[in-house]
Structure 1
Amino acid sequence: MDEWAPYNYQENGRLTGISTDIVRAIMALTGDDFEIQLMPSMRATLTLRNRPRTIMYSLFRTPEREELYKWVGPIVEESIYPYQLAATAQPINSLEQLMHAPRISTRHAGLVPALLQELGFRNLDKSATSSMQLYLMLLAGRTDIIIGDTPAGVAYYSRELGIAPGTLRRIPLELFRAPLYIAFSHDSDDALVAAWADALNQLRRSGELERIVQRYLPAQGSDHAAP
């Protein structure tokens, strides 16, 4: 897995997050005890493609990726929005304004910067190597707009950095929406994939899946992904 809060990340030396807890709950039901490793995003994706019998989470299931892996999910469905400071003198409200903004900062690699380039953005700063860096850049005035996290992720980093409510403004443009899945390399045993899918369905039917998700969300609960 890669570092992407609040779905999978490391805290006080322990791997945690929504998807991590769900994967552990699945393994408790299936009797598996696979090692979970934290890797940079691009390395994790390359490992999934090239190392036999590998599992990766959390991965957006997109049409381009559909045939590359075997899938178990969805875990949750999420969206990506741009964010700027609420006190900005130039609030962005349209895609045209966004595409002509002086600078948009995103992470240096991964699905989001690739998506933005495909959409035709030419004002991207891809110098950030982590989500945390994006928020620090925005707060320090080193960038005007950041794109990289779901609303749940923005809520997580706002808590971590002590960003007061109302400081950040979600620009009302849903740039991307897709479900998050657990992805299996193509050589993974079909019986294993089926067992994980069945275990996830058990968690969903029992209400445990929702309980795990809610533990990581801000007080407004399921409204974290509202437009």
Structure 2
Amino acid sequence: MLQSFFNTFIHITFKQLLAWLVLPLFILLVLANKVRAHHDITIDNITPASTPHITVVTEIWPPYNYIDENGEVVGIATDVIRQTLEHAKLDYHIEPYPWVRAYNMAQEEENVLIYSIIRTPERKDLFQWICQITPYVKHHFYRLTKRTDIQAQNLEDVKAYKVGVVKNTYPHTYLKGVGFVDNTNLEVVVDDEANIRKLFAGRLDLLIETPETMTIRLSKMGLKLDEVTPFLTINNQETFENCMAFGLKTDPALVKKVRDAFEQTKHLSKLKRKGSSDPLLEEKKGTN
């Protein structure tokens, strides 16, 4: 009987000992497999988070941004944008849109970069700015040369006339800020060429443009430069920068990356920022 008890004790003790040895080994094996699986996922299968793709939007505003004969977006400002984003090693594409759509996309969507956009007091808190990408830009009021009846010495005088502007552009927001009113002395249109057509048709008294852009647009439309006359700038006392900008929904870290690249590549586009000409502008000079 004693022998039977001893045998039973040895048998139970051996089972317990075996369980004590096997269970920790099993747990260690399970943990090791989990660690290995985690290592495989984090090291072998997952790449670092990719930098987001940048959608670059702009309008047709020669010589700063326009489409060439090959269908590519080019221009003085476009060169700066491409140099900056390529230096930053960012993936991007450029799409031209009507200004209103481009402006709204930049405000409402992440990772959308807009150019050329004038940094005004009204806009300064709506975007994250990177300035300046071209020399300062002056906008002039233009009238038909034959409209000698139009006389104005200042903006207050201009309020007596109907001025064509493209919605949400710098001239539109600036003039509204100094007391002009939509559908009263401001005729809001969808694009700049519509403005020119209305001016020549006598449906507008004035429109606003830069001298370089006016030269190019008139030539493209088969109109003569001497048929229009600039006579007043819209911002005699103020000068605003021409910039690129992200909306407020874009990660500030990404904005900083682009801003840093812009600062580092300034020497590459130094001539353009001092006023060098675009090939399109050179081609149109002297034509009427």
TM-score using structure 2 length: 0.65
Residue 5 of structure 1 aligns to a residue in which SS? Answer: coil
Give the alignment of 1:103-114 within 5 angstroms.
103-114=162-173
| Per-residue Cα deviation, 1:79-124 (whole angstroms, up to 9, x for no partner) | 22210012222142312331112x2222244342233233223322
CA gap of 1:39–1:164, structure 2 versus 1, over 3 A, is: closer
Aligned counterpart, 1:196: 258
| Per-residue Cα deviation, 1:154-190 (whole angstroms, up to 9, x for no partner) | 1221231233342211122333641111102334344
1:9 pairs with one of 61, 66, 69: 66
Gaps of 5+ in 2: 1-56, 283-288
Aligned counterpart, 1:222: none
Cα deviation for residue 21 of structure 1 reads: 2.1
| Structure with higher helix content | 2
- Please say if residues 138 and 146 of structure 1, whose CA atoms lie closer than 8 Å, have aligned partners that are also in contact: yes
2:248 pairs with one of 178, 181, 186: 186
Identity rate, percent:
25
- Whether 1:130 and 2:187 are equivalent positions in the alignment is no
CA gap of 1:214–1:197, structure 2 versus 1, over 3 A, is: farther
CA gap of 1:186–1:58, structure 2 versus 1, over 3 A, is: same
How many residue pairs were aligned? 216
Give the alignment of 1:31-46 within 5 angstroms.
31-46=89-104
Aligned counterpart, 1:160: 220
Gaps of 5+ in 1: 220-227
TM-score using structure 1 length: 0.80
Residue 214 of structure 1 aligns to a residue in which SS? Answer: coil
2:267 pairs with one of 199, 205, 213: 205
The two structures, once aligned, show a CA RMSD in angstroms of 2.6
- State how far apart, in whole Å, the 1-side matches of 2:259 and 2:222 are: 38
Residue 137 of structure 2 aligns to a residue in which SS? Answer: strand
- State how far apart, in whole Å, the 1-side matches of 2:221 and 2:131 are: 31
